[in-house]
Structure 1
């Protein structure tokens, strides 16, 4: 059975380094949310490790996902209205709805043990506009739909490269110059905030650069820029928009990822990271429930060691969704669970 990603693309047709980058990115998401859960539970953090870890991860990991999604989108332009305006929105909205209610149900079961104080009454709220970590899926959907419509409408007069060049300019202008009315902020603000990142990803994906393999010197220099820019972002309070700063860090991050992919992509760790990238949707929608369960269990058992909590919380946050995905695939119910 061919493995299909959330864009409907078979793994065999994908660039390996993109899957590995998504795999590393989703691990960072799990680590970041597990850390924030521990901070919310007010576990002892004698060395103030959690704030530093949080700032490091959140410096670039969400821009990274929008950039990679844009690159994939730019590599494979939309072909039909039905796929862009019907199938994709239906799939994304269905996934958001069922996993939002699963998330709320798990919070209700945890009750006062949950950091958010879950209640069964919370299941009465609408899943849209999205909340918690589901905002990402909604923002990604809005960007993909809007750019799909525009690209198909302008296909006869603009090449892909010209379209994405214009999209970068327009997205940047809107992001910096347009004030969103307060009433629609929950619906569109996150999407607009990352539209420029998505468009730059689309531009990269539309060029031959996306398949270029940098020399070792260029890859090492890019790695240096990634580490340096991340260190600067974390240690120095610069007057730079957080999303824009994360965009540059994410672009620099691509260089070491391509190097890792070229050197270790066929190894077992490389294939594991790539597979996690392919199923990143499953990990994303489920990881907080598994990590929260582990946190609550350990606290009730009397364990408050931060390292133990973080390691086990991250492990189950990855292995739980992975196991669920594999079981759903074996039972041929990925579409039913919203993970196809």
Structure 2
């Protein structure tokens, strides 16, 4: 049976992504003021680590099941192909939009290469880097539990101190900076003793209190990368524990679990398309003379989530169109 708690966690993560990008777009448009900076800082302290955390759940199993060629083929079609395709879809739409956007581009921008990644598409490349590195570690016999713990500690030190950028080029630094969260996900998900203790109300409460306390510390007192890193780690634990608890309490057939998991299964489609739809909504309202912050935030976030989800739901899961668009 499919573990819907994992899809639910992806659903939560993509929800935070959509809201964060909607708010930043509105700030750039001067519809929202600096008072929203704390909202952005809060979301950005953990939302992308959540995706890398989820990615670590099944990567060991995927490496075991697939041949080397099969593994890299799957990474290409799942990550690199959408990166390339949506770079030019995104740029093409921005060019056609002209001045009806925050950052207009010129025709010459359409000729840029997909690397370094454009805008939010950095995530696909960074995830590809983490998978390649984990694959190499796996083949070297360095991904058993004891080795995983050592690697987690080492990468945690590097990431928390922001050292990757000092020793690696930008194309590699972002991926390596998130490798720790993939290792963390792999360690947590493949250790039954930990998972069995996370789906309790006590685990949710304790991890939630620690997460909130660290966020307050980060946002109000100590805005340092080390504290932000701890926020990301505890955020991963808290939200995973929450999803496990909800799944256990309400069951896989409940509306709450099903809704969150459906959004999670469509997370790639939402990630690729949400900024286009949210921006279209924002610019349409501005063109009509409406700058109401509440309507912009709620409408932009909701449409950015529901619009791509509707497209994904209308397309057959393994159809030619779905595969061609890189949404499968």
TM-score by length of 2: 0.89
In structure 1, the partner of 2:53 is: 67
1:58 to 27, 31, 44: 44
Distance 2:45 2:162 in 1: 23
Question: Does residue 297 of the first structure (1) align with residue 281 of the second (2)?
Answer: no
Classify 1:112/1:177 alpha carbon distance in 2 versus 1 (closer, same or farther; 3 Å): closer
* 1:100 Cα deviation after fit: 1.0
Deviation string, structure 1 residues 56-80 (Cα, Å, up to 9, x no partner): 2112111111112112324654432
Task: Identify the residue that residue 74 of structure 2 maps to in structure 1.
Answer: 87
- Residue 31 of structure 1 corresponds to which residue in structure 2? 19
Q: Within 2, Cα distance between the matches of 1:317 and 1:70?
A: 26
Q: Name the SS for the 2:279 alignment partner.
A: helix
What is the Cα deviation at residue 329 of structure 1? 2.1
1:97 counterpart residue number: 84
Task: Tell me how far apart the structure 1 counterparts of residues 88 and 287 of structure 2 sit (CA, whole Å).
Answer: 25
Segment drifting more, 280-289 vs 260-269: 260-269
Q: 2:132 aligns with which of 133, 142, 145?
A: 145
Measured after TM superposition, the shift of residue 275 of structure 1 is 1.0
1:191 correspondence with 2:171: no
Distance 1:20 1:210, change over 3 A: farther
Aligned residues: 322
> Counterparts of 1:1-340 in structure 2 under 5 Å?
12-13=1-2, 15-45=3-33, 48-74=34-60, 76-79=62-65, 80-154=67-141, 160-172=144-156, 175=159, 180=165, 185-209=169-193, 211-213=195-197, 214-241=199-226, 242-264=228-250, 265-329=252-316, 332-340=320-328
| Partner SS for 1:222 | helix
Query: What is the distance in 1 between the residues matched to 2:247 and 2:133?
Result: 32
CA change 1:180–1:284 in 2 (3 A) is same
Pick which of 118-127 and 100-109 moved more.
118-127
Query: In the alignment, is the contact (CA less than 8 A) between 2:207 and 2:234 conserved in 1?
Result: no
- Pair 1:122–1:141, CA change in 2 (3 A): same
Q: Distance in 2 between matches of 1:40 and 1:149?
A: 41
1:227-280 deviations in Å (ceiling 9; x for gaps): 333333222225442334322332233222322222234321321111111110
With structure 1 as the length reference, what TM-score do the two structures score?
0.86
Unaligned runs of 5+ in 1: 1-11
Change (3 A) 1:243 1:224: closer
The CA deviation at 1:102 is 0.9
Q: Which runs of no fewer than 5 residues in structure 2 stay unpaired? A: none
* d(CA) in 2 for partners of 1:323, 1:75: 31
Q: Give me the whole-angstrom Cα distance separating, in 1, the residues matched to 2:154 and 2:76.
A: 23
| CA drift at 1:96 | 0.4
